[in-house]
Structures are given as structure tokens and as C-alpha cells.
Structure 1
Amino acid sequence: MTEARESAGPNAQRAPGEPCWVSLMVHELAATEEFYAELFGWEFRPGPQQLGPYVRALLDGREVAGMGQLPPDPRLPIAWTPYLATNDVDRTADAVRLSGGTVAVGPIDAAEAGRLAIASDPSGAVFGIWQGTAHLGTTITGVPGTPVWNELLTYETESVAKFYATVFGYEREPVVAAGLDYVTLHLGGRPVAGLHGVGHALPPDRGSHWQTYFEVTDADATLRQVVDLGGRVLRPAHDSPHGRVARVADPEGAEFSVVQDPS
């Protein structure tokens, strides 16, 4: 994860089903920009405004994520949402409905950037669908401040894995370990996302939800910075086979994980 990688060339289309973007909708957009600018070194520029005020986050001039302003309804969830690529968002939205999911927004055009829909799987987890034209998604990975993994936390994986495989054509690879319900989703033999069944450990106030992992240089130092900036530590840093990992929340409550590359 330590070597910067261009995740797509200027004219490269994403493979259908590939996570290509992450986006956060919040109530206080300016304050949220300040938090992530300090935490990850992001800068911001305006993006499409079809769903209200929206900015794209940049790292060293390259796009890594998006943020938008929610309407003033305090009940709307504040969460990082992954977008999955498609060549035809309307056809994918139909497949979501036919497979037991729900399409909540769209499909709609996002100016000249592309076309999108926001959907939920049968367990209620929200995700986006993105058909890029001018904007193809995150353009850099493998350096601190970039998204490196998306993982669905759900009650059990069997039924929801079938949904994602049907809609996006993923190959499914269960992780064989005692007491672990985990499925890795692959495209062309490459892992692109994970499904983690946690049973009754699933937060009752959130239900099934996707979680984004961002790479950091030092997980423990990042946790101290999160707290100093008004966020919270939800799970302290701990070592894993993939690096040192922790889960946090920003000042508005949006949860995300940070991972320090073991190399």
C-alpha cells in the first residue's frame, strides 16, 4: 500500500463492479472539509451539484473522494458510501430491483461527469452505482489519505453475497476460519471488497452498512489526531494480517477505518 498507484488513466473505464469512488453526505460541509483536510491533507474543489452542494477531495491534485451537503433532516444517516462502477447505470439499477434491492435515488445525470444511482441491498446497506464519462472516480491509491478497501458489515453473508454476485458478477471466495463469516468479492481474480457477517454484534441502531478503510502512515498517531480534531475512537488500533487497523468517527459521526500498511 505504500507505493502510489494511478487507479485509472485519463480515459480508462472501470470494470463493472469495481469500487471506484467513496462519498460522504453531512450537515456541516465546511466543518467536515476542515476535519479531513487536517487529518488526510485533502484539498477541495466544487463537484456536480445535482443533489445539493458537493465537493471533490484532492490529494496532491488528484481526486480521492467526495463530500456533499445533506438537507436539514437530522434523521438522515451520515456515512461514507462506496460507489461501484457500471457501464450502464439504468440496467444495473433494474438488476438491483430484480434481485431484491432498492433504488432510492436515480438514475440521474451528474452534469458532464457521468450518471449515478444510490441503492441498498436486501439487508439495507446503502451503496452507489456510478457510470463515469468525464469523471471516472478515485485516481490515486496506495498512499496515506486514500481509500484502500470497502467492507460490508452485515448479519450474515450468504444471501447478500448472492445479491452482489448477481448484480455485479463478482466471484465469491469464503474465508475459511473457525467462527468467521467472511466472503471476499473478486473481479478477474482480484479481491475488490469484503462482506463480514457479524451476527448479533451488528449495531441495532445502524443495521447493515458499508465501511471504508483509508490508508495512514501511523495508525496510533492518527487516532490521537482524530480526537484532537473532535472525532472519536470507536475501536483502538490493533494488529491484523493486513496491518494496524482502527475504527473511528468524524465529528458528525461518520464512521470509517484507518489501516497502517505493515510494510
Structure 2
Amino acid sequence: MARDLEASQRFYAAVVGWSFRRARLGSAFSVAVMDGVPVAGIGALATDLAVAVAWTPYFAVDDVDVAAARIRERVGTVAVGPVSFPGGGRAALVADPDGAVFGVWQGPVSSGWRVGVGPAPAWLELRTRNAFDAALFYGEVLEWATGREGCCEVSYEEERVVLRQGGEPVARLDSGPVEPGAYAPHTRPRWHVHFRVADLDSAVEAALDLGGRAVSVVTSDGTERSLLLRDPDGALFTLTERVVPPAPEGDGPR
């Protein structure tokens, strides 16, 4: 959700390499495309709807009305919807019991598309008070770890819940100090999106040139280099680059 559609498109085209096409939802919306695959959507309605500028993940469900009912039953909040969209989709904007905002979507999804594969977002992260409690909520609402075909596997690793699909990590739920209802977005429970780029340094330079702001220093875990940023509208996101390990040195000639 953004304030200025054209400015957001210029920013993410330069930083992440997306192109854009008009969405069927109206002139305030566009779909981000990379390598011919739709990877994200931008809606310039933050001002009109008086909502925060932010990236929000939408999880695919079989029945959005059932999912909304489950959210209410488990003390979550249904803020908008479920509402129907052109093309046969239905969606709701919701929040978990700690206030982390997400969406649920019933409708067409690009064939073969999922987080962590190809040009799609690299992975999602939930920052919350208690990852185990959050996993119970999301597992019941979204039917994680139910054994259904295409369903996700959930594991609990060092106070962190890791969600995998086909064995590959697609999301993690992190326990930590957060403040429900806090004014600053980075201190309250929230979903956070990580976008993969081929060259982190070049992408960060482009972001800063176009009015973005670095919120952290570059970090590395040996497999990924990452940096937390805000776009010019204030939306938080992380850029991440795969680290190629150096080739082992041979014995050389003797």
C-alpha cells in the first residue's frame, strides 16, 4: 500500500528490477512483474483509506470466508472484507491477535509461483512476541502442517518457527521484544518481506539515490547479505543477496 503509484513504480523498478502492468482493480493499482511472473502488487490508496504505507503478505486459502471466521474465533481481527474482486478473487485484510497485519486470498494464483522460488520474494518473516503461539494461530487459520497436498511443513528451531514448502524455507516466525500498538512500525508485531537481488550494493545505491533510507547496516549469515530499508513513502522491506562461498583452494603444483 503506497501513496504515489508512479513514484513507487520508479523506485522498485530501479531497486529490484521490476516492470509493471495495470491491474484489473483500477487505475490506483499495478502488478509488479519480473521474468514474466507477477510477483507483487502496489495500490496507491494509503492516503484515501488512512492506512499505513506497508508491504502486506497475502496467503492463499480455499475459502476466504472460512478463513475469516477462523480468525475471529481465535481473537484475530478482520479489518476489511471479505470482498470480491474482478476476475473471481475474494480477499480480506486481517490481523493476528498481536496485531500483525496480513491478508487472505481466494482465487487465481500464478501457476508454479511461490515465495522463495525464482523472481518471487525471497521469504517472509513474522516478528512477534511468541513464535510458538503465533504458529498455532496461523497453523489453525491457514491449515499449515495438515498433510494436505502442497501444504507447508512447520518446525521449531531455536525459539524460531520455520515454515517450509517442498523442503525449502519460505517464512520464519521470530520471538522477540515487540510492542503491540506501538507507533513506530519496526517495534510492533508485523510481517516483513525480503526481496532478493543479484547485487545488494548496487540495489542499495539505487534505493538511496531515489529517496530510500537504510535502517540497518549490512548483515551476513554466511549464505545471505541483507539490509533493512524504507522506501520513499516509508514502507519497510529487506533486500537480500545470496553469498557465493569461495571455491576451496587446491593443493597446487608440487
Q: C-alpha distance in 2, partners of 1:132/1:69? A: 22
Structure 2 equivalent of residue 35 of structure 1: 11
Q: C-alpha distance in 1, partners of 2:195/2:48? A: 28
Q: 1:152 aligns with which of 126, 148, 151?
A: 126
Check conservation: 2:77, 2:95, Cα contact below 8 A: yes
**1:170 CA drift (Å):** 2.1
Q: C-alpha distance in 2, partners of 1:80/1:107? A: 19
CA 1:95–1:29 in structure 2 vs 1: closer, same or farther (change >3 Å)?
same
Alignment TM-score, normalising by the size of structure 1:
0.79
Structure 1 equivalent of residue 31 of structure 2: 56
1:19-51 C-alpha deviation (Å, 9 max, x unpaired): xxxxxx11111111111111122221111327x
Q: C-alpha distance in 2, partners of 1:201/1:174? A: 23
Q: C-alpha distance in 1, partners of 2:181/2:73? A: 28
Check conservation: 2:98, 2:180, Cα contact below 8 A: no
Q: C-alpha distance in 2, partners of 1:227/1:71? A: 22
Structure 2 equivalent of residue 197 of structure 1: 175
- Which consecutive residues of structure 1, in runs of 5 or more, have no partner in the other structure? 1-24
Check conservation: 1:249, 1:255, Cα contact below 8 A: yes
Which is worse superposed, 241-250 or 201-210?
A: 201-210
Q: How many residues align?
A: 232
Q: Larger radius of gyration, structure 1 or 2?
A: 2
Does 1:175 find its partner at 2:157?
yes
Does 1:85 find its partner at 2:60?
yes
Check conservation: 1:65, 1:138, Cα contact below 8 A: no
Q: C-alpha distance in 2, partners of 1:31/1:113? A: 29
Check conservation: 1:64, 1:137, Cα contact below 8 A: no
CA 1:36–1:182 in structure 2 vs 1: closer, same or farther (change >3 Å)?
same
**1:61 CA drift (Å):** 2.7
Does 1:235 find its partner at 2:216?
yes
Check conservation: 2:22, 2:31, Cα contact below 8 A: yes
**Partner of 1:49: helix, strand, or coil?**
coil
Check conservation: 2:16, 2:195, Cα contact below 8 A: no
Residue type of the partner of 2:6? A
Say which structure is richer in strand.
1
Structure of higher RCO (CA pairs closer than 8 Å, 6+ residues apart): 1
CA 1:255–1:138 in structure 2 vs 1: closer, same or farther (change >3 Å)?
farther
Q: C-alpha distance in 2, partners of 1:137/1:258? A: 25
**Partner of 1:97: helix, strand, or coil?**
helix
Which is worse superposed, 31-40 or 188-197?
A: 188-197
**Partner of 1:196: helix, strand, or coil?**
strand
CA 1:53–1:85 in structure 2 vs 1: closer, same or farther (change >3 Å)?
same
Identity of aligned residues (%): 36
